[in-house]
Structure 1
């Protein structure tokens, strides 16, 4: 059980923050009782070990209760992105054979008719409170290779794929994360990334394992995020680099709070620029900014600190954790290529996708599709995605390389580069740029900067200026929306110069 040694503690485990004015502190004892009540409710409803249930909700303590309560009963939770279309949600529920869905009122409309829904936040007969069956519950003892959770990841193309993660692997993962990150009951770990994404799930598992306190925001909001850091004196904050760039952009708010409590800033799911790392160090002076590599299928965090405590280079994604093997394959030399990993947390397989499983999982090694390099000391660095790379006039371009170049310009706060079709070149890079507050630059300025400081084929053929980059459901950048804006020729807050 995730927090068995603290199950009777009256200390706060999660502070649910549905609003600034109405925080809901939940103790370890209360959380344990709620998880038991949920497990009993599942059994009373006829669910058996191995059955699937869907969770369709923004962050709230009930999400955690359903997640952990299901695992106690041997039922497999299927967290679902609330920003998906109804068709995609229907596909996930059908593919997983989920027989029950826990959903907030706003998300119920996504659930197809005929599937039973328990409404989170409702006190009615179909509400969560009525579903619970209060009392003790003896947790199911799972087989090591039994499925603990079935996450869905879309990758870059195609329909979402169900990732089967085992109880043994998840147990290994939570313990290794809590230990190597030095997490203790003195930590306060702020969670704003969605709980259906690995970033937030890892934070919950790591925090509860170590006895930390977890302030939980329904979703990411720059204002509420910064306010929570100061109010709860958070020691660990985490998210994707886009979230942190948005935080740093609000220097007016950061100057109003005390950030000295923050000891770690963790960023994953995308490359972090050297400029962003420097700015984080400036505004969180006692914190170590860490670039964290994670992939749902691969552990989900296979790389971490140096085993002997040697300093990690600022842009490195780390070295293999104890129990993890890593290698680079298919590159021009042994220290560059596709990252492959093997550890107890690697996926059991893709649900109902034997061909995809055989392609990505070979002799226990998971082929990540991420291109990395390794330095002389053994630290790994993220270069780009296999499927992000595109060819421009016969030259291979990794978008992150162009982004890193553009972010060296003194006026650029954040850059995103994507390929667009071109009649002569096949595809060419377009850049979407957020400028620093008060800074000015034109499209031509940035084109000339890229030409002067990098290979000509990499320079962006178009540059679009935005107030901020749009976020999708997982708080990653919404690239489809950017493509729609380009196609329509209409951008919010866009001009040739800012």
Structure 2
């Protein structure tokens, strides 16, 4: 029997608990930011741990967090884990029926929520409305004083996020103290977080990207500049006002920032040392533009999944330069397979073994059996490996579609289109076709003032890619829709493309 003990994830950053520097700068109300130092933050987490324990909630039982980005989210999240209680972050944009299903599925004992979101909970769910009576109900949960943290074993669960549910209902991932204490320290060390850093976080905290950022900040004794939600102009203002040294987001976020040319220009951004991009491939044009705007920043492409962690790829062990677009070199302890049509090779769906793996899916053995095979987890993401051993993200296997017998990975076509000088952003989606099975349509955001037309885009594509990849229809838009975690809402664009296709067919008929 394994009786080893492991660090409690809720206590990360405790070595700074007596340091005077800020831990959180909360921009819930940007005109009245709340700045909390490390001693105050850790005392609040201890008070939450004591309060939940006093309410009779036991280790490995669950509480829910249905909150926007705010200081209280972090106090609850890390405080619960200190007591061995499992926080379940719930997406604030999920429909009421999905929220209710998660509360039931996870057998949640108590939910903390924004006042505006309380109506999405089951009527019989015990709830602490954080905004009620000027936060008096929330503060009453806290029991100030020292707290001896729960000591986890090998498989004790730290927190339980739910995946997006793109193929059905969301799936609860069981993430252990052991795995994610290792993940947090691995990422923070690789990216050089230190007490001088200030990282701006605008992605929702219920998503892995933002929560990984928070853990890196705490491990490094850094400060997080926490925005309620992403809004490009407010983001730029916060970067300048609070001197953010680390920026992170999907490529779309950076593209939207750079489109605010009147606001982002004219500033000296020498204080920005690191920009990380993940979730989708980034074009050379975008990377060059980010590098020109933040001239002293290292620009790093990152990759990770909820189930396998973000500590999969990092710098080369001998610090060899990372090639542009590479997600990095395998982090020690991880094993990878790329499974393609001809078996294992240098291109295909990524399968992973590693120390950051989840324990499994909660109450979902069927999905676990489908994705976890002989000790290997199927990420559903397509990557390639170059001759030296560097890895590159290509796209989601679910996004791939077949046109005239040829596999099209939208990310590859988008990168090609975004190399055009007059294209800021491009998204390619499939539309059904009686002859070719699926054909690509492209949604394009033009550079401001451009007179670019559909014929020119098609001509450019035919000159720079295989003919089956060129978009059969080009739709120009002012902006691309985002989903709840700041990624492009491909499903919304697919629906719009289908409606356009059917409309054209009807006219043709």
Partner of 1:412: 423
For the Cα contact (< 8 Å) 1:331–1:338, is it kept in 2? no
Distance in 2 between the 1:487 and 1:386 partners? 21
Q: Deviations over 1:39-70 (max 9, x none)?
A: 11211222111111111111101000110011
1:243 aligns with: 253
Structure 1 CA distance for aligned equivalents of residues 408 and 165 of structure 2: 19
Q: Does 1:265 align with 2:275?
A: yes
Match of 2:233 among 204, 215, 223: 223
Aligned pairs for 1:134-173 within 5 A: 134-154=144-164, 156-173=166-183
Q: Which of the numbers 200, 212, 235 marks the counterpart of 1:190?
A: 200
The structural deviation recorded for 1:169 is: 0.3
Report the 3-state secondary structure (helix = DSSP H, G, I; strand = E; otherwise coil) of the residue aligned with 2:219.
Answer: helix
**TM-score, normalising length: structure 1:** 0.95
The root-mean-square deviation of aligned C-alpha atoms, in Å, is 1.6
- 2:211 is matched with 201
1:262-281 per-position Cα deviation (integer Å, ceiling 9, x unaligned): 11100111111111111100
- Are the equivalent residues in 2 in contact too, given 1:300–1:346 (CA < 8 A)? no
Q: 1:330 aligned to 2:340?
A: yes
SS in 2 for 1:29: helix
The answer for the alignment partner of 2:4 in structure 1 is none
Counterpart-to-counterpart distance in 1, 2:158 and 2:469? 44
Question: 2:431 touches 2:498 (CA, 8 Å); kept in 1?
Answer: no
Q: 1:87 aligns with which of 97, 110, 119?
A: 97
- Does the C-alpha gap of structure 1 residues 422 and 20 become closer, same or farther in structure 2, counting only changes over 3 Å? same
Question: Is the 2:113–2:128 Cα contact (8 Å) retained in structure 1?
Answer: yes
Would you say the 8 A contact 1:303–1:318 is kept in 2?
A: yes
What secondary structure, in the 3-state scheme, does the structure 1 residue paired with 2:127 have? strand
Q: TM-score scaled to structure 2, two decimals?
A: 0.93
SS in structure 2 of the partner of residue 208 of structure 1: helix
Match of 1:116 among 106, 123, 126: 126
Unaligned runs of 5+ in 1: 491-498
Q: Is 2:327 the counterpart of 1:347?
A: no
Q: Does 1:374 align with 2:382?
A: no
Please list every run of 5 or more consecutive structure 2 residues that lacks an aligned counterpart in the other structure: 1-10, 502-509
2:80 is the counterpart of 1:105: no
1:461 corresponds in structure 2 to: 472
Residues 123, 130 of structure 1: 8 Å contact kept? no
* Partner secondary structure for residue 282 of structure 1: helix
Q: CA deviation at 1:144?
A: 2.1
Count of aligned positions: 490
Cα–Cα, structure 1 residues 488 and 336, in superposed 2: closer, same or farther, change >3 Å? closer
Q: Which residue of 2 aligns with 1:444?
A: 455
Whether the 8 Å CA contact 1:269–1:293 is kept in 2: the answer is yes
Does the Cα contact within 8 Å between 1:81 and 1:474 map onto a contact in 2? no
Cα deviation for residue 223 of structure 1 reads 1.0
